Structure 1
Amino acid sequence: MVSIAALIPIVIGLFGAAIVIPWDKTIITEPLPRNTTATENCGLINDPKYRRRTVFFPSKGLQLEGWLYTPKGVEGRPPIVVLAHGIAGQKDMGLHPFAEVFAQRGLAVLTFDYRNFGGSDGEPRNWVSPKRHLEDWEAALDYVRSTLGAEVDVTRIGLWGTSFAGGHVLVTAAKEGGNISAVVSQVPHLSGFEVSKQSLKSRGVPQSVRLFLAGLHDRARDLVGLPPAYLKVAGPPGSNSFMELNDADMQLYLAKHPEHYMGGWQNRVLARLANEMSRYNPIHYVPKIKAPVLLVATMKDTLCPIAVAHRAAELNSNIQLLEKDVGHFDVYLGDLFDEVSVAQARFLVEKLGAVVPVHEAAEALPLL
């Protein structure tokens, strides 16, 4: 009979091999270096209706990069809306069109990259963490209040977030209480528990376990000082990616991306996110929100279930629900983008008390 003492080195050896050797071909351990080369879409914009410049501010000892939009043709200091992206997203992945619509209608806008993404500092790259994201939202608000008071009205602040950040803005608004004047939450992540249940149903138990174990593998590598392990952000069904998308959704997801990414972004994210998703439930914060909320939900959303959006609307009378009979990624493009973004601008203009610029005076903005 083999003694326990004799088995210990074998167990340690197997554990060590599991840490060092990617046991799943979907796990990526090649380094993802930051690329600081400027891309063609990240510079100053001096539009007839607004101006955009790059700004920097600190978060937990690192520097975040943002774009600050200031409207033209308005008197006094405009209210400001703070924007950020969803899971593994950054500001050059389709946020500029929303910010432009808002700035054209008299709103100042700050959109920023989380730590480890885009123009912001931080290693390893493409680290998605709800806790870290929420800290960056706090840092953005601190920057607005401490630095931008001469340019914008810091007593009238709105929050705008999409997908994963659609949940972040709800959590942030709940924590901020009366300091936030309006919130737009677009196709939001509301319940990690419900998303995990839906994922388990669609992926099956073996594939779900595979995803979870990849997260543990990444954490184990971190504990022993090895480079991180990544999984794809988006991939086809069965790809062991965080978003398993059919061909149509994949095309929509990529359509809002630039030709060249800021920071050298790649389609991968630290696998440790697989061990955090189910514990992140922004819906628990919804009853505490004091600000008016426009919640934009899509009825064919396979990532953020519409039923959870309905539940959120029932939890707080300040929530106005806008539903569209499309999928998760349809709101970023084409005629639906035009419709949704203008509806959001109208909501923000009303709730933040923005002054419509002279160049927009002939274009009345009827309320929702």
Structure 2
Amino acid sequence: MGAFEDVEFQTIDGLTLRGRVYHADQRGPAIIMCPGFNCVLEMAGLPAVAEGFQTAGITVLLYDPRSVGASDGQPRNDIDPFKQVQDYSDALTFLKNLSTVEPRQIGFWGTSLSASIALSAAAFDKRAKLVIAASPVAEYHYNNDKMQQVLRTCLKDRESQIKGNPPFYIPMIDEFGQNPAGLDFGYNPEKAAAWSRSGMGLASNHVNRTTIQSYHKLAMWVPGAMWKHIDQTPVLFLIPETDRICPPEEQLRHFNNLKGPKKSYVRKGKGHMNLLEGEHVDELIKLQVDFIRDAIEGRAF
């Protein structure tokens, strides 16, 4: 395991977000990484990617999203992509002052929901030198009947909270191995059901539930309209061939709509949640490191 420093930083609205800095052995480029929907930094292969960047001489800030894991935020596990966009900028403000970081060589990195958030952050924060989006969720695909039922319950929850009651929560994965709102994360249903019934999280700080209002925010999250503001910032899409939350053809459609310098890579045989896990990860890390170096040096794609 690569060496890292536990850190915390402040957001514009006064929250403390917590994570790790994987310092490179010399001053140079840096990457800001954040996990996806209701995930913590230990999940989905993110530490291995951070260590790979560190070994290549790239400092990494990897942090838990607001209200999740070690980061502050109330109510807990309330997923708000709009606020998380701003958190990337606050993370950059923190990271650029570290001694191992060249302030003008910082990039944004995300996976799943955080990939679309990283792209949206870079659309407006031109301090970001580049963006890497792994499995970017441009448009959620879900079971419409389940989602509509959850959204109707969101209104009941609002009424309940106005009366002073705590927020409603639903599991990320239920006892049947399914997401109650109809999202398909690509988990094996039997294994997911057994994991859910065990009452444990997927990592030490992970909690298998979110506020039901998180899905109201996701239903309104249509980030592609923001990406038109990404003009000269280089972008790399890492696309899993069997993604079912946001199919690869939709990811490629949004990629093709980008006007600036860009590069895409489709990984065969991988799905939404395991793109960054397995024997191929070293190859993916090298591809990303090469992209980072090309973007910083201004080389064409």
TM over 0.5: yes
Decide which of 341, 346, 351 is 2:290's aligned counterpart: 346
Greater per-residue helix proportion: 1
* Distance apart, 1:224 and its partner CA: 2.0
Decide which of 104, 124, 134 is 1:155's aligned counterpart: 104
Q: Which residue of 2 aligns with 1:23?
A: none
Q: CA offsets, 1:97-116, max 9 Å, x none?
A: 11001000010110111221
Q: Which residue of 1 aligns with 2:124?
A: 175
**2:148 paired with 1:209:** yes
Q: CA offsets, 1:206-234, max 9 Å, x none?
A: x2321212322332332222111111213
Distance in 2 separating the partners of 1:164 and 1:248: 20
Q: Which amino acid aligns with 1:52?
A: F
Decide which of 20, 27, 31 is 1:81's aligned counterpart: 31
Distance in 1 separating the partners of 2:192 and 2:276: 8
* Distance apart, 1:181 and its partner CA: 1.3
Distance in 1 separating the partners of 2:118 and 2:189: 24
> Structure 1: 5+ residue runs without aligned partners?
1-44, 354-366
Q: CA offsets, 1:78-127, max 9 Å, x none?
A: 11100001100121223211100100001011011122111112222111
Partner of 2:116, secondary structure, is helix
> How do 1:118-157 and structure 2 match up within 5 A?
118-145=69-96, 147-148=97-98, 150-157=99-106
For the 8 Å contact 1:233–1:243, the answer to whether it is kept is: no
Q: Which residue of 2 aligns with 1:240?
A: 180
Distance 1:282 1:98, change over 3 A: same
Q: Which residue of 2 aligns with 1:40?
A: none
Q: Which amino acid aligns with 1:222?
A: Q
Q: Which residue of 1 aligns with 2:212?
A: 271
For the 8 Å contact 1:252–1:330, the answer to whether it is kept is: no
For the 8 Å contact 1:171–1:285, the answer to whether it is kept is: yes
Q: CA offsets, 1:52-89, max 9 Å, x none?
A: 101111111121112111112x4xx2111000011001
Decide which of 244, 258, 266 is 1:316's aligned counterpart: 258
Distance 1:108 1:249, change over 3 A: farther
**2:285 paired with 1:329:** no
Distance in 1 separating the partners of 2:164 and 2:77: 18
Q: Which residue of 2 aligns with 1:103?
A: 54
Q: Which amino acid aligns with 2:110?
A: G
TM-score (normalizing by structure 1): 0.72
Distance in 1 separating the partners of 2:122 and 2:185: 31
Distance 1:97 1:141, change over 3 A: same
**Structure 1 range deviating more: 341-350 or 162-171:** 341-350
Q: Which residue of 2 aligns with 1:15?
A: none
> How do 1:187-206 and structure 2 match up within 5 A?
187-191=135-139, 195=140, 198-199=141-142, 203-205=143-145
Q: Which residue of 2 aligns with 1:58?
A: 10
Q: CA offsets, 1:128-151, max 9 Å, x none?
A: 011221122122112123x32x33
Distance in 1 separating the partners of 2:161 and 2:244: 32
Distance in 1 separating the partners of 2:190 and 2:112: 15
Q: Which residue of 2 aligns with 1:285?
A: 226
For the 8 Å contact 1:81–1:158, the answer to whether it is kept is: yes
Q: Which amino acid aligns with 2:38?
A: A
Q: Which residue of 2 aligns with 1:71?
A: 24
Partner of 1:327, secondary structure, is coil
Identity over aligned residues, as a percent?
24
**2:182 paired with 1:230:** no
Q: Which residue of 1 aligns with 2:237?
A: 295
Q: Which amino acid aligns with 2:239?
A: A
Q: CA offsets, 1:266-290, max 9 Å, x none?
A: 2111101222222212211222212
> Structure 2: 5+ residue runs without aligned partners?
none
Partner of 2:100, secondary structure, is coil
Distance in 2 separating the partners of 1:301 and 1:347: 23
* Higher alpha-carbon Rg: 1
Distance 1:114 1:242, change over 3 A: farther
